Structure formats: C-alpha cells, structure tokens
Amino acid sequence: MGDQGGEAAARKSRAIAPNTSGAVHNRLLRLVPAHELTDVLGMAERVSLRPRQIVHHWRLPMEHIYFVESGLISVSAKVGDDRFVEAWLIGSEGMVGAPCLLAPDDKAPPHRRVVQVGGAALRIPTRTFL
C-alpha cells in the first residue's frame, strides 16, 4: 500500500505537459476540446511501443488505454487454442481501449492487441481514464 504513493508520484513526473492540440500526434485526441484535452494529457504518460509487444491479452482486463501516436497495433481474434487472426489495425487515428468505454461491464474483452510496427503512444490507466 505504501508503494501506491510512489507510483502516483512517478506517474505524475512522466505525465504529458498540457499543450495545444497541435502538439498532439494522435488524430482522435486532436478532436477533443482544449479544456478536456488538458485533463486527458495530465493523466497520460508517453511510452514506447516495441514490435510484438502485447498491450492486451485475450480475455484479461484492460489495465491501460493507449492513444497511438506512431506505429501500429493489431487487434486479433482468437480462432483456435493458440491461434489468432488479425481483425483490424489501430494507428494514430485511434485508441486501444474502446471496449472499456463501450462495454464497461465486460471486464475481459475478447481480442488480443499486439504491436506490429513500433512507435509511441500516450498511455493512461483505465481506472483513471474512466
């Protein structure tokens, strides 16, 4: 429990300084009104995305929401015991975490999200974002 304060302080030190929407590289965030964008950016930390990095495992709770700034994340559907098929891609036009907003009662979304092309994203803990 004592570590939570340290985590919060570390997250705050990595938080994105509020800027104008012109400095935001995610096209979805560019549509957010400036006063709300400041709040969102205050919750976010910029992270690197590495190829083959799994940002969300199949049927596990989503711990973070990602606003992709560069790179590509694939969303894969499970079709067999250890087989997944790529269903769609998310780039700088979108976000990883839409199921948290659209179906908040579903704690275990049915797809896996994997980085296909490395880059960067703004990451926000799901609970904080909601």
What pLDDT score does 112 carry? 95
Q: Which of the residue ranges 16-20, 86-90, 124-128 would you say has the lowest mean pLDDT?
A: 16-20
Whether residue 6 is predicted with pLDDT greater than 70 in this model: the reply is: no
Domain that holds residue 78: 3-129
pLDDT at 7 over 60: no
Q: Residue 62, Cβ neighbours under 10 Å: how many?
A: 21
Q: Domain of 89: which CATH number?
A: 2.60.120.10
Q: Which residue has the higher pLDDT, 105 or 37?
A: 37
| Residues 122 and 44: beta-carbon distance below 8 Å | yes
Q: What would the two tokens of residue 103 be?
A: 């179906």
What's the rounded Cα separation, in Å, for the pair 48 and 68? Answer: 10
pTM (2 d.p.):
0.82
Mean local confidence (pLDDT), 21-46:
91
What distance in Å separates the CA atoms of residue 43 and residue 37, rounded to the nearest whole number? 10
Q: What pLDDT score was predicted for residue 43?
A: 96
Give me the residue label for tokens 């700088």. Answer: 92
Residue 14 pLDDT greater than 70, yes or no = no
Write out the DSSP string of 33-52. Answer: -HHHHHHHHHH-EEEEE-TT
Q: SS3 of 109, please?
A: coil
> What are the pLDDT digits (tens) for 87-124?
999 999 999 999 988 988 887 888 999 999 999 999 99
**What's the domain count of the chain?**
1
